[in-house]
Amino acid sequence: MNQRWNVLALGGLSLAALALQTTADPNTVRPVVVWAARLALLLFVTGFVLLGQGAGTLARKIACRAAALALGLHLLALLRMVQITGKAPQVATVPGALTVLGGAAAAAIVLAGWPYGDRRWYRWAVYWSWGYFLFTYFLLARHSAEATRVLAVPLSYLPSVVLLLLALGWRVYADIKAVARRRPSEPLQM
């Protein structure tokens, strides 16, 4: 039963990769990049909040897997965009390299939610991805703009920043409660 979902997800991503390879127009790929990222963010926030809850393992597993699937589509679309435009991520500068490496680590953590979303270590690892999402929306400039994304396009990015901050508040509160509830000799439960 479990393998069926794995096969369906990999099959879906394979079909998406094939579909993306059929276009050479960046204006066709760009909406996939943008909307897959937005969907991944919403699913990630849902999984992030649910990871702080003691119950709801099925909902948590679904949210973590759906976020991994949406982020996988986002990454495939980004790779196709790089192929089409020939513009690789900027890693020549220290901030550029940190942004790319931090994003790769955040993506790896979200993708790890598919097989490891129910592991104890994953509960804490997702804080990195949360921080990276906030960094990209709040502090990172948009493409060639001078202003940060939230200042350059507030109607697009401010709701994401508010959502991330609300999720963080909820999650920190839940984690503090969970740590306070447990006995010193027992591990923190998922």
Question: Nearest to residue 141, comparing CAs of 163, 157, 160?
Answer: 157
SS3 for 148? strand
Residue 185 placed within a domain: no
Q: Phi, psi (5° rounding) for residue 111?
A: -65, -35
Residue 49 placed within a domain: yes
Query: What is the phi-psi region of residue 140: left when phi exceeds 0, alpha when psi lies from -120 to 50, beta otherwise?
Result: beta
DSSP annotation string for 152-168? HSHHHHHHHHHHHHHHH
Q: Which residues contact 15 (CB under 8 A, 6 or more apart)?
A: none
Q: What is the pLDDT of residue 106?
A: 93
What's the number of domains the chain is made of?
A: 1
Residue 186 placed within a domain: no
Q: What is the pLDDT of residue 1?
A: 46
CB-based contact 71:90 (threshold 8 Å):
no
CB-based contact 23:144 (threshold 8 Å):
no
pTM: 0.83
Residue 190 placed within a domain: no
Residue 189 placed within a domain: no
- 131-188 residue pLDDT tens: 998 888 877 776 666 778 888 888 888 898 999 999 999 999 998 888 888 766 666 6
Q: Which residues contact 89 (CB under 8 A, 6 or more apart)?
A: 82, 96, 99, 100
For the chain, give the mean pLDDT.
Answer: 85
Q: Phi, psi (5° rounding) for residue 141?
A: -75, 150
